[in-house]
Structure 1
């Protein structure tokens, strides 16, 4: 891989590149789905190739090849330079790259039980057992899923940088579905749409204890069919980490991507209500209790790494501190526009995709003083919202609407009857300013999103969100 990287860099420099970097990547994936007692699908795939990025004539160029022979690598490097030269006349502003130390070293996900070495029969058996535990009176369909990803990545650059990294991600989850007439209810564990993901080995799946949590999912799915609807109108809501992590993802993570702020996503996923001049202005994103950090150094975080795809070392960057906007997710070419170094938040889905500004692990920092049960006990009249069911947010990350699978009524500081079809909506800064309690570390959970999409063509990468639950006042409930 080093020889391939060196050849690509030499060809790019000879072609006129002022700077070049190359990623040699091999990726393996596998997945298993069990549906209502039967194995529905087993899939595996591998992909490998070389991505060459150059900075030439004041612009970026990128090209990739799945061939490792000299001609293919030379052609990709030459094509990247050609693209940079073609793009340069159309640039709206002069591109400057933030300096960084030379990247050197290795990184590997700590793995206790290799998911790719474990026999397929064992993984299928675990899913079948979890799926069987979902079955019960009133349950019409069940789904149990497992997935694993591994990526070997060599990064090299013309400044002498050279890193080698190996990432392993796994995820799993279960769902119970109940139907009566035209009504359908679903309960999931530990999270909907493929379960919860982490950067770890198969031990992560075992720790989830899918079979041990399946019966509760089934019972609640059936109970929701006859539960009263969640009331409309303003309410005090306590949001469980299983929903709050997605709220952070959509209304905070994407909003603070600096390339989005500058309009780079306008043709696909939109822009942001934030502007660069709000940095340092004291703009209040949330209440004093709200501190958000982008942290690629968290052990086991789905968005953790040693170095990003620009060779910038993993770091912890504060985005919002005590409610005030203090930072953005940045790259080497966006950071200089706000007068700072890169925050090390650039990644690509694969060898044949251009690296983009991406979330790492964007986390809501726990606040000492109250546990999540304490917050419930401190709430006289409210709703406890659990597990995301649906979401919608505008292209500026301003107006949003979320639905959860279940709500629990809070009366006199106690969780009461279950309520179905809860939906809440709001405006991002107004919502986060209404936060009057954030739980302590005792309920802190790191959730993973393996399908965070961005760019054209769309790229999906692993990102993480840690949170402990929080309370918000005057939230609009109902559609």
Structure 2
């Protein structure tokens, strides 16, 4: 093989590795995305085949997920369309307990015979695995809900919007960036619809229709004289909404310094792209930060990633127990800290909760992937570590008898397991705006948007960057900064939180493709917060070398 051919083929392979599994499936026409799925009676009949077959084959418990996963991805660069991909994945997964052990099998043959074979295979796998099982699976009880349904509340189905209209919107955003000084710009739009049917031997038949959308872009500016270039990412948030998110509303715009606009329940991609070009130009000549201790004012789009990495992941029970170790580490938040009842995770104003019911969030569903009704629960209460994230076969380890409802599989062909729910920082209780917060800072930095980050294998010591940075002196924004990153550890950082803006500033950040597990799966999760201040945090200069 020639070297050029090898590089080309391996490049394609790496590209496939980074293509999210949710976007994989059979390529289909735009029209197929609008075709109806099986009706509920047909799905129930197929589900009953799986459940009865599993029981007659020796299972003491069984569930089935019949899923149709629809995806559309549009990519543009400057004034050209780079790609449009629509895909459909359709099949079912059967999970059973036999001889006290889990078994799972999946098939894309969604027929009576295909489902019967999958159920028999799942039971056979469970019985084979039982030879090595040391303790039987212990499932927390769950109510059988009968026949129920749940849908994401949307105003406009993104798949019903003509591709030409969506392409025009992205190209208009690109044009706005170029008109305001961008050298390069690429924009993308992801849309996902999960049509899922769950049934179990405990009497639940749950039909769900879930929608998600994510517009994003990268704007780059080059300065030929100096050879410098800077980029600015979109300040959008992926949302559990329909295409109405792409229709900007004036009342959804949030205040931000220096003419920057932040967005809440709708998004103006054209306006954001134009602002991004102006800010990227400003970054070329912005001064480099002086390392030292600063008070940090962190807006929600930025803070969401810090919440995700330093609270969301370390409070997953499988990570705490060490079951999840090879993929992104374990956790410093061990069970002895939880059981002590007094482990100080953050300051007294830090209240962090898990919630699978938040409207507009990526993780919002009516029921999780093992038929548990979604709910909200506290993780950090008044700064104290009070709970974790656990599912039906885990909660007995905590001495609890009710699943938290955070079980999920990325597709019908993957087995469901514990995944992060929406994890959010509660807003402050007293009226307090971003302007008020900045006025109270003598020496600080305002950070908006996500950037590079690093965190250790126990989710404790970390470093976070951002998208844009502004220096604060004596209560005033004095100008843009470059090369900013802050370093801390989880406990020290959350204990430095001294003020949180009220609910008027509360917004959602999201991770559309959060990876976990081996084999790896992705899930979508949101993190809400208001702008918050952290005092005396160590800031480094990422542009300097030792």
Q: TM-score, normalised by structure 2?
A: 0.85
The CA distance in 2 between the partners of 1:62 and 1:476, in whole Å, is: 48
Q: Hey, what does 2:98 align to over in structure 1?
A: 56
The CA distance in 1 between the partners of 2:482 and 2:131, in whole Å, is: 56
- The Cα shift of 1:450 comes to 0.9
CA contact (8 A) 2:78 2:171 kept: no
Q: Hey, what does 1:172 align to over in structure 2?
A: 215
The CA distance in 1 between the partners of 2:393 and 2:335, in whole Å, is: 14
CA contact (8 A) 2:301 2:508 kept: no
The CA distance in 1 between the partners of 2:523 and 2:372, in whole Å, is: 18
* 1:139 partner SS: coil
CA contact (8 A) 1:372 1:440 kept: no
Q: Where do 5+ consecutive residues of structure 2 fail to align?
A: 1-42, 249-266
Deviating more after overlay: 343-352 vs 104-113: 104-113
- The Cα shift of 1:125 comes to 0.8
What is the 5 A alignment of 1:332-351? 332-340=392-400, 341-351=402-412
- The Cα shift of 1:213 comes to 2.3
* 1:67 partner SS: coil
The CA distance in 2 between the partners of 1:182 and 1:78, in whole Å, is: 64
Deviating more after overlay: 27-36 vs 276-285: 276-285
Q: Hey, what does 2:322 align to over in structure 1?
A: 263
Q: Hey, what does 1:384 align to over in structure 2?
A: 446
Q: Hey, what does 1:197 align to over in structure 2?
A: 238
The CA distance in 2 between the partners of 1:32 and 1:400, in whole Å, is: 34
2:516 matches 1:454 = yes
CA contact (8 A) 1:63 1:77 kept: yes
Q: CA RMSD in A?
A: 1.4
- The Cα shift of 1:93 comes to 4.2
1:85-124 residue CA offsets vs partner (Å, 9 max, x unmatched): 2323333544311111113411001111111111111111
How many equivalent residue pairs?
Answer: 475
* 1:102 partner SS: coil
Which structure shows the bigger proportion of residues in strand conformation? Answer: 1
The CA distance in 2 between the partners of 1:239 and 1:383, in whole Å, is: 8
- The Cα shift of 1:464 comes to 0.7
Q: Where do 5+ consecutive residues of structure 1 fail to align?
A: none
1:395-453 residue CA offsets vs partner (Å, 9 max, x unmatched): 21111111112210001111121001211121111111111111111111012211011
CA contact (8 A) 2:216 2:234 kept: yes
CA contact (8 A) 2:443 2:474 kept: yes
Q: TM-score, normalised by structure 1?
A: 0.96
1:273-307 residue CA offsets vs partner (Å, 9 max, x unmatched): 11122224111111111111111111111101000
1:45-87 residue CA offsets vs partner (Å, 9 max, x unmatched): 0001001111121221111011112332122112211222232
The CA distance in 2 between the partners of 1:236 and 1:90, in whole Å, is: 54
| Aligned counterpart in structure 1 of residue 455 of structure 2, from 386, 393, 411 | 393
2:22 matches 1:22 = no
| Aligned counterpart in structure 1 of residue 435 of structure 2, from 352, 357, 373 | 373
| Aligned counterpart in structure 2 of residue 313 of structure 1, from 373, 383, 391 | 373
CA contact (8 A) 1:54 1:60 kept: yes
- The Cα shift of 1:182 comes to 5.5
